[in-house]
Structure 1
Amino acid sequence: MAGNLELLGSVLAKAKDENRAALVGYLPAGFPSVDGGVRAVTAMLEGGCDIVEVGLPHSDPVLDGPVIQTADDIALRGGVRIADVIRTVRDAHAATGAPVLCMTYWNPVDRYGVERFAAELAEAGGAGCILPDLPVEESEAWRKAAEQHGLATVFVVAPSSRDERLAKITAVGTGFVYAASLMGVTGTRASVGEQAKDLVGRTRGTTDLPVCVGLGVSNGEQAAEVAGFADGVIVGSAFVKRLLDAPDLESGLAGVRELAAELAAGVRRRP
């Protein structure tokens, strides 16, 4: 079964046609449990997310702040495996028909086997992979496997990325570009800042790929702000926090749906 790179592109294009940004949610697999995680990812999509990223929990998540680190720890202590990540992608996509990507650090993919991981992700209906710590110069093996199986390869750019570096990254990426709004780790912020707007503008100068902004967005007002200059708004920690703070799973799922609806309204009222 081929991956869903074309579906990802069509969903991003549809949002652009509707004069809005796409809403991209993130949640690690296996949190708060494997079954609970499947239900939560599905609730995010049913609540208003256009696209979802399923995280592969890692013991040393260098890009992630304390909220997502806590969720990763719960998932890892619960015994989550790559098979559970693939299952989460499969079940969420099957339930909603939406594009579902995997966000993972490189080491687990390398150890699992590049071809094997790409094949299984595509077979599950996955749309692609976001690889925040894979240097472009070392990405050829993955990109070949991803292309063969119809998967997007999404690279992360940061405010510190020079223009020539941006051009090098965007020349080989597919699907969209993940623009980190600031230097630092994931987590909610009081404001998203001007760095993100500048980075989106510079990135667009090197590519026609959609540019989606992540790190720091936690409410509808911030989503509207970012939607004013980006093609997509990525939200992770705020969803994780709804589940962490909930007294039980059902309350958490209701909170996730509520937040997705608020953010979806936000990306539709761009300034």
Structure 2
Amino acid sequence: MSAIDQLFSELRQSKKKALMPFVTAGDPNIETTEAILRALGDAGADLCELGIPYSDPVADGPVIQSSYQRALESGFKLQQVFDLGKRLTGDAMLPRVTMVSYSIIHRIGMETYIKKAVEAGYSGAIVPDLLVEESAEFAKLCKASDFSLIQLVTPTTPRERQVRIAESSTGFLYYVSVTGITGERTALPTDLVDNVSWLRGQTDLPICIGFGISSPDTAAQLAPVADGLIVGSAIVRRIASASGKENVVRSVTEFVGQLRKAIDDAT
């Protein structure tokens, strides 16, 4: 059982919903990223999604695109993600997954990426640009290493295809709440609850909702229908707005604490 499987099993037993903050690795520098990751557990997060900067981001809105650009301009290298993971391994840390373009995995090799990620303490990977038709080999390698392959389902994904994606995924399913790119929204689609409810009937995997969750109020609306909530742009924006490592960590953890309270109160 992977760390992600264990986490969701424990959350279901305690009737809690997962809170997953997204943080861009190396924005504004890897030291600040490490400080944030070390603080998230006490703030109320359950697991963390670490975005690997990429020059051609997939489905990311301007806030996360800008964070990738800042990290790359500051000299970010992929090896820093693995080195960071090793520094955190052994601590009482949250499970961590990477959000990574398949082109990065392909460049260094599927087996190499999984080996390096597992050795660095990562529990899985969200791969937004890996087509389900081309995922079989990588999914097989991930299962052999007890490394979760998390894939995305969108509002426009045909239902037959949603089932295929669920069958080739492990850990949890990432349900994209809106059509379009990442970013904060003040309103979410009216059919979101029905769509997630249908998908829940097709798979035993936990379903986590991401894209568009901008505030404690939005989180509270979605918490009853999701197994977990992923919050990205609203956190990345706070990292960009604060100055200095201590202020960045304080801004992020205060917001995560507000999200945690809203989710718990709603469920």
The question of a shared fold, defined as TM-score above 0.5 by the shorter chain, is answered with yes
Q: Structure 2 residue aligned with 1:151, among 134, 138, 147?
A: 147
Aligned partners of 2:136 and 2:168 also within 8 Å: no
Kindly provide the CA deviation profile for residues 42-81 of structure 1, in whole angstroms up to 9, marking residues without a partner as x. Answer: 2223311101011111111121101111110011111111
Separation of aligned partners in 2, 1:264 and 1:89: 24
Letter in 2 for 1:80: F
| Alignment match, 2:70 | 74
Q: Does 1:222 align with 2:222?
A: no
Normalised by the length of structure 1, the TM-score is 0.94
| Alignment match, 1:232 | 228
Q: Within 5 Å, give how 1:1-271 maps onto structure 2.
A: 6-270=2-266
SS at 1:212's partner residue? strand
Aligned partners of 1:68 and 1:240 also within 8 Å: yes
Aligned partners of 2:18 and 2:46 also within 8 Å: yes
Residue 226 (structure 1) shift: 0.8
Separation of aligned partners in 1, 2:115 and 2:168: 20
Residue 213 (structure 1) shift: 0.1
Residue 130 (structure 1) shift: 0.4
Separation of aligned partners in 1, 2:226 and 2:123: 20
Residue 218 (structure 1) shift: 2.0
Aligned partners of 1:131 and 1:153 also within 8 Å: yes
Letter in 2 for 1:29: A
Shift in CA distance, 93/66, structure 1 to aligned 2, threshold 3 Å = farther
Letter in 1 for 2:104: P
Aligned partners of 2:97 and 2:122 also within 8 Å: yes
Shift in CA distance, 156/93, structure 1 to aligned 2, threshold 3 Å = farther
Number of positions where the alignment pairs a residue of Structure 1 with one of Structure 2: 267
Letter in 1 for 2:209: V
Residue 87 (structure 1) shift: 2.5
Identity %: 33
Separation of aligned partners in 1, 2:67 and 2:92: 24
Separation of aligned partners in 1, 2:188 and 2:40: 22
Normalised by the length of structure 2, the TM-score is 0.95
Question: What RMSD in Å do the two structures reach over aligned CA positions?
Answer: 1.4
Separation of aligned partners in 1, 2:108 and 2:43: 33
Kindly provide the CA deviation profile for residues 114-156 of structure 1, in whole angstroms up to 9, marking residues without a partner as x. Answer: 1100001011111101011100111122112212221000000
Separation of aligned partners in 2, 1:134 and 1:199: 22
SS at 1:83's partner residue? helix
Separation of aligned partners in 2, 1:267 and 1:92: 27
Letter in 2 for 1:128: G
